[in-house]
Amino acid sequence: DTWFSSALWPFATLGWPNKKSKDYVNFYPTQFLSTARDILNLWVSRMIFSGMEFTGKAPFKDVYIHATVLTKDGRRMSKSLGTGIDPIELIEKYGADATRFGLIYQAMGGQDIRFNEDILVTGKKFCNKIWNASRFVLMQLENIKGVSVKDISKLKPKTSEDKKIINRTKSVFKSIEKDINGYKFGQAAHTMYDFFWHDFCDVYIEYAKLKDDTNTKEILISVLSASLKIMHPFIPFATEEIYS
């Protein structure tokens, strides 16, 4: 809470916090704070020194400084100025997944974002691509026995194309995991997009259309399954529906 530090001082004189209380034990300290640059000194630093003063512990471990979303012409979004955008309208127009992915896709580092609605169209097209690719893969499994979802490391390539997609999946997922752990969400979204659209759909699915063997289908469903999992934090609704 941004009012954390100013609220602490009067309560501290009354013996707050009660370090044996359930809330204190469960919720303090926490791990992660998300904030903009403009309140680092106003609030974040105060939360840190106040927490350490009254509890002996820093209130959080990591601080993620996110970009400020500006209008297309660079003005700050404000209710009083009427420059804000209602996210509900965007969700109704493009869908929740497309809106979510489009915003993350623009967030490259701490640079401010000049909001461009066109990127939500990219998000919507990507969601459609995931849906259609998944339909194709699942159709390949109809009336086929002996095909199961396997961990990527347990897949056995029989062709150079098999080997390429398996190795590419491993390296890309490792890169995405590293970016997510480092709070580089925009970079992770770009890597995810390029891998699924180009490496998986444009190359391997097109290759698989010319093949009709169990091993190819097993690689298809296994890479798709793993992709749905790693895309889930970014595109939660479509991936859950497809995975189900």
Task: Please answer whether residues 205 and 217 qualify as being in contact, where contact means their C-beta atoms are separated by less than 8 angstroms.
Answer: no
The percentage of residues in the chain with a pLDDT greater than 90, rounded to a whole number, is 57
Beta-strand runs (E) in 48-145:
62-65, 69-70, 113-114
Cα 166 to Cα 144: distance, rounded to the nearest angstrom:
22
pLDDT band at 89 (very low <50, low <70, confident <90, very high): very high
Q: What is the pLDDT of residue 11?
A: 56
pLDDT, mean of residues 47-57: 90
HSE, CB side, 13 Å, CA atoms: give it for residue 153. 2
Per-residue pLDDT reduced to its tens digit, 67-77: 888 888 888 88
Sign of the dihedral defined by the CA atoms of residues 96, 97, 99, 104, in that order: positive
pLDDT, mean of residues 196-219: 93
pLDDT, mean of residues 21-29: 87
pLDDT, mean of residues 137-161: 86
On the question of pLDDT at 241 being above 90, the answer is yes
Question: DSSP alpha helices (H): ranges in 108-213?
Answer: 118-140, 160-181, 185-194, 206-208
pLDDT band at 186 (very low <50, low <70, confident <90, very high): very high
Q: What is the pLDDT of residue 13?
A: 54
Cα 178-179-181 angle, rounded to 5 deg: 65
